[in-house]
Structures are given as structure tokens and as C-alpha cells.
Amino acid sequence: MTNANSKKKLKVWSLSLGCPKNRVDSERLLGSLGVPVSHVEHMGRADLVFINTCGFIDPAVRESVRAVLDAGNRLGSCKKKPLLAVGGCMVGRYGAEGLAQDLPEVDLWLPTADLPRWAALVTQKLGLPLPPEHMPGGGRLLSTGPSYAWLKVGEGCRHNCAFCTIPSIRGGLKSLTAEHIVDEAKALLGQGVRELALVAQDLTAWGADMGLKNGLPSLLEKLTDLEGLAWLRLLYLYPTGVTPELLQLIRDTGPPLLPYLDIPLQHAHPDVLSRMGRPFAGNPRRVLDTVRQILPHAALRTTFIVGYPGETEEHFESLCRFVEESSFQHVGVFAYHAEEGTVAATLPDQVPDEVKQWRRDTLMDIQADISERLLAAHVGTRMQVLVDAPHPEWPGLHSGRVWLQAPEVDGITYVSGPGVTPGALVECDIVENTEYDLTALA
């Protein structure tokens, strides 16, 4: 593509794998190229094919490799081959040089270490003028519709959990400045977004690398008064960072700051938590007791790893009892994967794969009953529903969410009636529930 064509729309086919933080990286890249961008459904018609990979665990790596191979096969017969650019955590984990030998069809590798330069690297390869260094709000090209957007507040992680590859891929904690975050939030709200979901590997650590002792509460105070913000949601709160001061701020602030807390505990038994290098190894219930004391009606989400090295049947049964007693609104369960380069991969007493899967299915069955019971309590009440998108098959029906449902990771609310359009916040009657979803009428 030559500079003479730079005013034309750049046709892009993109795929973002893995977590919401990757989606933000993709949106920032595509919005920061300095030229108008239009998405195309068929990659063969694109000027740029961009795949943002995940490298967190082995199944995600295999999915990423399959996506790249599929793109290479589909583009191989194109008369005018688009630029195939691949970025993200798989590149950060294994390195562009090593991957290039196995995946020669890729034209441009974008390692996570080069995130600030992604736009410049892509435009240079396309023959476009270099993009402006400072794009308003990070130059995000939203892929989530008008209802919500993810707002990433930092990179990397300062913790060293024995099972996790993130610090080796993304590096240590690097907080974005409050000014940058607020500017991006304003830009997103200016596009009509109603909900901002703050996301980081550990939100509670925001600002620690800049010497801030009360970072997250100070950031929240800057965001909650922004015009147009209906909901502000917090995801990935490290247990030790869920302090009484933070909880009191959430309680006293009220809307738009939602009492929704995603606190990844990873396990409940002290022996397993200790082997994981996790906090609260002696008493994992302490953080839940603090939350319930200050925010008794909070919606709690957490994640657990089953089949961790050394996890016995007794350990697993203890975890099951913990989940039954704790009544989490949402639970994600992952079967442990031994990841190369982690401490956990070298531990003795690895658990057989079939046992891991059985434990995952068992815990998910327990949580399904809890989720159904908690959702049933809302049937017959009126709640606000934030409408996300029209249903692809049923005219007049839309998918949306009530405040206790985070985008992409929790269940949804099916909603229909007057005023139900994407981006609308509608008062509705909750009329039905399933294990994970609600049905509402406006």
C-alpha cells in the first residue's frame, strides 16, 4: 500500500484471542494506525490480517497456532496477499525469532515488549505514513459495541505465583498514569459507551510502581464523576489488596461504582495455596468475611485451579465445601496445566489429566446449582438491564446484562420490549432464570 492510497480506508480482518487485556491491545492498535479502518468479514479481501495471540497456558498456545496456520492457508491462494501480522502473549512467551522458523507465513511479528510501537511497525510494513505519537484516548477502535468497553490500567504483574507465566511474558508491574486512564475513559464515554470495566492482572496494585500507597481508591475517585458513565466495574482484585478502605469507598460511592468484585482465589485449602505461593494460605476465608461485613450485597466472582500438583482428594473435598458455603455469584474453574518455565511444572505429585477434568466438572456442577439459586432470587424483581446486542436468530430479542453480570465472562440477560436497543440502560421485570442466565421484559 502506497502513501497515495493512505486516505482510503484500510481494510482489516482481526482476531483477538485470550483475555480482555488482549482485546484492548487490539483495539488500540487498530485505532492508532493514523488512517480510517473498516472491518471485512473475509480475510482475503483485507489489507491487514491481525491475530492477537494468547500464551498463558498450553491450550491457548495451541489455539493461537491453529489460528495463524488457518490464516496462512486461507491467504496462500490470494492474488494480492494481505499483510499477516501476529502479536500478543504467544509472541512474548516464545519470541519472534523462534516462532518465525515454524510459522514462515507470518509477515510481521509484534512482541508484547514492543506494544507502544505496534502501530508504527504495522504502518511501516504497509508503506503508510507513521501514525501520530499521541492519539486521543489511545486511539481505540472499539469492537464491543456501544454498551461497554474494557479499560486496561496497567501491564504486567508484581506477584510470582508458582503456576503463572504472566510476569515472564508481560514483565513486572507497569501502571498507566491516572491522566492517561482518565483521558482514555473520557474518549470511550464520548463514543457513547455506558459501562467501563477496569482490568489489570492485579487492579489493587495500580500505582504501586509509581510510589502510590492508596492507588486504586484515588484512581476510582477520578473516574466515578465522569459524564456519561453508568457503570464502573472492577475485575481481577488480588485478595490481599481488597482492603476495608477499598470496600468502604465502593459502599459509600455507590453508582456508577458497582459492588461487583472479581477476586481470583485459585484454591481454598492452605496446603495448596502455600504450594501456589498465594496469599491467605492460612485463612482463605478472611477476605470473604471482610467483603461480606462491609458490602453484604456484593456480587463475588472468583476462579479456582483444580488438579494442582499435590492436590489430594481431601484438598479437593475441602475446596468443594468452601464453594458450597461461600455462595459465589460466579465461579470459573480451570484444570491445572504444567507450563514450561514455571515453578509448579517442576513440583512432584502431578495429578493425572482424567482426575483434573473430573474435579473441574464436579466443581462446576456444584456452582451451577448455586448460580441457579442466586439468580432465582431476582425473578419477580425490577432491575436495570444494559443492552449489549440483538440476538442473531430471534428478531426483537436482545442480549444484555444486569449489574451483577460482567461482559464476556458471566451469564447474560435476554431482554425484549420497548426501548431495548444496544447501549440502552432499561428498567425491566426479571421473569425467568436458568443456571446462568436471566430473562427480562422492559
Binding site feature residues: 19, 54, 89, 157, 161, 164
Rounded Cα distance between 407 and 150, Å, is 9
∠ CA 218-406-291, nearest 5°, is: 55
Secondary structure percentages of the chain, helix, strand, coil, to 5: 40, 20, 40
For the record, the C-alpha cell of 124 comes out as 511501516
Rounded Cα distance between 203 and 206, Å, is 6
Check if the beta carbon of residue 202 is closer than 8 Å to that of residue 237. yes
Instruction: Estimate the crossing angle of helix 244-253 against helix 215-223, to 10 degrees.
Output: 10
Rounded Cα distance between 429 and 422, Å, is 18
C-alpha distances in Å from residue 377, one per residue of 160, 300, 352, 438: 39, 16, 39, 11
Buried b (16+ CB within 10 A) or exposed e, 277-297: bbbbbeebeebbebbbebbee
Query: In 103-147, which ranges are E strands?
Result: 108-111
What torsion do the CA atoms of 69, 74, 79, 84 make, to the nearest 10 degrees?
A: -40
Rounded Cα distance between 119 and 130, Å, is 8
Report CA Rg, the chain: 22
The residue among 59, 62, 55 whose CA lies nearest residue 356 is 59
For the record, the C-alpha cell of 23 comes out as 482485546
Cis peptide before 422 (omega within 30 of 0): no
The runs of H, that is alpha helices, within 295-352 are: 313-326
Q: State phi, psi for 85 to the nearest 5 degrees.
A: -110, 135
User: Other C-beta atoms within 10 Å of 433: how many?
Assistant: 21
Annotated binding site for [4Fe-4S] cluster: which residue ranges?
Answer: 19, 54, 89, 157, 161, 164
Look at residue 300 and give its three-state secondary structure.
strand
For the record, the C-alpha cell of 62 comes out as 495451541
Query: In 231-381, which ranges are E strands?
Result: 231-235, 257-262, 299-306, 330-335
